[in-house]
Amino acid sequence: METRGRNELQLANFNNPDNKEVSKVLHLAVFQQWKLDDCGRPREKHNAMVIERNAFNWTIVNKHFCTKRYPNLKMLIVVLSAVENFETRKIYREMYGDHFYKERGVVTLFVVGRSLNNSINEKILEENYAHHDIIQQNFLDAYKNLTLKGLAWLQFVVDYCSNVQYVMKTDDDVVFNLYGLVDYLRIHFSNSSRIDDENRFICGMMHNLTAPRDPSKWCVTRDEYKFDEFPPYCMGLQYIITPRIAAKLLEASVGEKFIWIEDYFFTGQIGQKINAKYHDISALRGQKEQFLNMTALFWLAHETHMAEGKEAWRNTLIAAIEKYC
């Protein structure tokens, strides 16, 4: 029997060490040390993970989120969030949450994984009990498991949220002008049928991006991606699709080799597979100054505390209401 790494054993045994099924499922989500010669990291022998349908189980799922709770939902904002980011989610709820549901039909939903820390797992259950706006599957919440989060929210949309017009994926350190975004969609896409027909992503595009081989957090090995350059794909900052496209992405991902670069995997690799097209909104992304003067609708606030992001959002809110309402 092959020896498993320390982290692998920790993950397989958290919560219920006697639950063999849970251990088996969680085992898939752990990345052993890889022999990454081109990234300067050692690795142990491993088998590449292949995407399977329903490979993980729901530990938190709000099945009626898009129907009974929000029956008139038009756009679902799916927010990828690290499980331990409790304060960030609190701020995000204060900015967005369901405050714009009655007026614009927009609501946010958070996607998280599991923690090795049982107290965090218990706390996330309490958070969901209070807000009922979280989905979670039983894989380890880690940077290199973002693709698993992507599969989770796609599955949720297909199974429980197919009634909405749009789904926007974003991260919990992105601040956006919701009024401006809704108005942009109204002007450029009077309905979502055009997006469906063309398998179109609405996003900021990445072109001619070289696969990073330097030893860093973003280093990609040739085992993971053998080419030197990525095809065009959407920046993970945000992208907008429809439930029908979500279903196509989910179906087309089955059988594909896992790669941890979530935005490339879904919008590039799988996007090519479904012959996707792209509506580039890179010009709508900017720095804080552009966001404040409303020449940009999206601002990545990761280098600052989200409290500053909230303050910037608040400063633009009144002006946005006057401009778009």
User: Residue 20 pLDDT more than 80?
Assistant: no
- Topology annotation, domain 10-14+52-324: Spore Coat Polysaccharide Biosynthesis Protein SpsA; Chain A (3.90.550)
Q: What is the mean pLDDT of residues 87-104?
A: 97
Q: How far apart are CA 296 and CA 288, in angstroms?
A: 9
Q: Which one, of 288, 87, 81, lies nearest residue 172 by Cα? A: 81
pLDDT tens digit string along 214-256? 777 778 888 888 888 889 999 999 999 999 999 999 999 999 9
pLDDT tens digit string along 145-179? 999 999 999 999 999 999 999 999 999 999 999 99
* Domain extents in the chain: 10-14+52-324
Q: Lowest mean pLDDT of 31-40, 119-128, 139-148, 231-240, name the range.
A: 31-40
Q: Lowest mean pLDDT of 103-117, 138-152, 204-218, name the range.
A: 204-218
Q: Which one, of 217, 210, 208, 219, lies nearest residue 38 by Cα? A: 219
Q: How far apart are CA 234 and CA 263, in angstroms?
A: 6
Q: What is the mean pLDDT of residues 57-73?
A: 98
- Which one-letter DSSP state was computed for residue 280? E
Instruction: Give Cβ neighbours of residue 38 (< 8 Å, ≥ 6 apart).
Output: 213, 219, 221, 222
Q: Say what the pLDDT of residue 40 is.
A: 62
* pLDDT band of 48, cuts 50, 70, 90: low
Q: What is the mean pLDDT of residues 114-127?
A: 98
pTM of the complete model: 0.87
